[in-house]
Amino acid sequence: MEITLTMPDWAVTELQRLPAVIPSLEDRMAEVIRFSRLNFENGTGGPFAAGVFERNTGRLVVIGVNRVVASNCSSAHAEVMALSLAQKLLGTYDLGGPGMPVYQLVVNWRPCAMCYGAVLWSGIRSLAIAGSGPELEAITGFDEGPIHPEWDKELARRGIELIDSVLTEDALRVYRDFAASGSLVYNSRQGG
Amino acid sequence: MEITLTMPDWAVTELQRLPAVIPSLEDRMAEVIRFSRLNFENGTGGPFAAGVFERNTGRLVVIGVNRVVASNCSSAHAEVMALSLAQKLLGTYDLGGPGMPVYQLVVNWRPCAMCYGAVLWSGIRSLAIAGSGPELEAITGFDEGPIHPEWDKELARRGIELIDSVLTEDALRVYRDFAASGSLVYNSRQGG
């Protein structure tokens, strides 16, 4: 009666090698995109990664990667891994609680229908993404689910900053390489 | 670098006492609603529970409860707990995979924005809920997030059956008692 989700060994090693502070947003995204590539190249999950940082200083909390297949858990998307690990490390279920610095989630595309909700509930105050268009689904075949038509406005209504189109081409290159690799695309039901 | 989510001791004990098979949908929902009440009355989480059953036989797989505060994990909603535990018990990330029976998720209200996506990715083929209206938010003050305007049609498009309004009044009674208890409502950000 318990669920355990783990990070792959290579990611634990890579995290230890990263600097404690990554001041520029592009450099943060570059690391997230590098993790997304390492995840599928190492066969430890889909081509998705997400990092939690202090927005204003760039202090790194953690980078999580997709672990659906390895964990037998369809909710183990990169954003859920990163947010849950950050909340564990910081000892709170609300990253936006009183006295906390502004935490930022950096992801290599717009979160799927599930992870969009996970972002809302996490207390994250800033969301930086590599892109938000149909390219991800078109290139990889992953189903991102029904995204709310006012998803960006709904973030703003909850006080969550959105920064779109950070290193878009670098993110797309990983998706193209993933698609060319013939790796598993594990959508669940697509129709009756 | 790992996340562990646990069920409360009372729930483990209660699960062992339940029959292996619960043929009627109303009886399945009654158990889920009972768990939702026990969760807040025992101080182990919010008033939410979700059960995974074989739809056609009523065989019980597991009932999960909300564990956000206890786990310091904003994603530990009842549906994520139930689906993740079921996937662990059944050894697959896709409850709708080849050769599987039809699995049903029974929840004491419409899933929130995050859990709606979690349902889509789980492989669940049938979703039974106690209600889907604004009563839950109005009574408890919980924010359910921006629900897609075509949420019900999007379920159908993915081959997921929806059964609404099962024991609605029984579910609402728990929310009213929760609200009257003065228990913590832990929404994250509500505005800038």
Cβ separation A113–B5 shorter than 8 A: no
Q: What is the pLDDT of residues A162-173, one digit of tens each?
A: 999 999 999 999
Looking at CA atoms only, how far is residue B171 from chain A in angstroms? 23
**Residues of B in Cβ contact (< 8 Å) with A148:** 113, 146-149
Cβ separation A148–B150 shorter than 8 A: no
Cβ separation A73–B92 shorter than 8 A: no
Q: In this model, does residue A190 exceed pLDDT 50? A: no
- In whole angstroms, what is the distance from residue B53 CA to residue A70 CA? 24
pTM for the model stands at: 0.97
The answer to whether residues B126 and B103 touch, using CB atoms and an 8 Å cutoff, is yes
Cβ separation A94–B74 shorter than 8 A: yes
Looking at CA atoms only, how far is residue A5 from chain B in angstroms? 5
Q: In this model, does residue B70 exceed pLDDT 60? A: yes
Q: Of B4, B92, B94, which has the smallest distance from its Cβ to A4's Cβ? A: B4
Q: Of A4, A81, A125, which has the smallest distance from its Cβ to B189's Cβ? A: A125
Containing H/E element for B167? none
**Residues of A in Cβ contact (< 8 Å) with B146:** 148, 150-151, 154
- Mutate which of A93, A94, A104 to disrupt the B interface (most B C-beta within 10 Å)? A93
Q: In this model, does residue A188 exceed pLDDT 70? A: no
Q: What is the DSSP annotation of B136-160? A: HHHHH--------TTHHHHHHHTT-
Q: What is the pLDDT, as a whole number, of residue B183?
A: 83
Q: Searching chain B, which residue's CA lies closest to the CA of residue A62?
A: B1
Q: What is the pLDDT, as a whole number, of residue B191?
A: 41
**Residues of A in Cβ contact (< 8 Å) with B114:** 114-118, 120-121
CATH class of A20-178: alpha beta
The answer to whether residues A94 and B189 touch, using CB atoms and an 8 Å cutoff, is no
Q: Give domain limits for chain B.
A: 23-177
Q: In this model, does residue B192 exceed pLDDT 70? A: no
Q: What is the pLDDT of residues A127-166, one digit of tens each?
A: 999 999 999 999 999 999 999 999 999 999 999 999 999 9
- In whole angstroms, what is the distance from residue B139 CA to residue A9 CA? 45
Q: What is the DSSP letter of A57?
A: T
- In whole angstroms, what is the distance from residue B110 CA to residue B173 CA? 16
What CATH architecture is B23-177?
A: 3-Layer(aba) Sandwich (3.40)
Q: What is the pLDDT, as a whole number, of residue B99?
A: 92
The question of whether B79 is a catalytic residue gets the answer: yes
Provide ipTM, 2 decimals.
0.96
Of A31, A41, A79, A161, the catalytic one is A79
Q: What is the pLDDT of residues B1-35, one digit of tens each?
A: 999 999 999 999 999 999 999 999 999 999 999 99
Cβ separation B122–A74 shorter than 8 A: yes
